[in-house]
Amino acid sequence: MTTSTKAELKQRALMAVRDYGIHLMLFRNAMSEWAGLNVTDMECLRLLFSKGVATPSELARQTGLTSGAATAMLDRLEKAGLIVRQPNPNDRRGTLITPAASAAEKAASWFASARTAQDELISRYSEHELEIIADVFERFTKLWDEERAKLHLD
């Protein structure tokens, strides 16, 4: 039995994080295609589910789209019944975008198999292991937010 050194384990963990990101992206791309949306449409929905409400400008900036491309994306999502546009009460010329009432249920149905598989996988770990897993992902989330902030794009 070989014992891995800390440096080897660190490298293995970092490669696993890299591979996780790649495979999650591949899954999301496949799911977008399967749902009949493009990847940016799906990213916009994820942002809206996370934030609850956003302006078209925010969504354009966060998805890397021009204002015209963001408008086309929002038109597609509205036509699909996934978002709602409403007047911005703080800016009479502005619009707020929210997920449509049925959007969460519809999107949840798309990911039912993945949620079941995730639950089966994560259920195999002990409470102590789950604390470590949660801590790692929470810290990586914070790390990526801090690294993104260094880019001064928001």
Query: CATH number of the domain that 49 lies in?
Result: 1.10.10.10
In a domain? residue 50: yes
For 105-123, write each residue's pLDDT tens digit: 888 888 899 999 999 999 9
Count other Cβ atoms within 10 Å, centred on residue 70: 23
Range of the domain at 35: 6-123
Any idea of the CA torsion for 76, 50, 47, 132, to the nearest 10 degrees? -130
Amino acid type, 47:
L
Does residue 137 form part of some domain? Answer: no
Residue 99 near residue 83, CB atoms below 8 Å = yes
pLDDT of residue 16: 94
Is the pLDDT score of 154 beyond 70? no
Note the pLDDT tens digit of each residue in 26-71: 998 998 888 888 889 999 998 999 999 999 999 999 888 999 999 9
Number of structural domains, the chain?
1
Q: How many CB atoms lie within 10 A of CB 20?
A: 12
Averaged pLDDT score across all residues of the chain: 91
The answer to whether residue 99 sits within a structural domain is yes
The answer as to whether 45 is a domain residue is yes
Neighbouring C-alpha atoms within 13 Å toward the C-beta of 22: 6
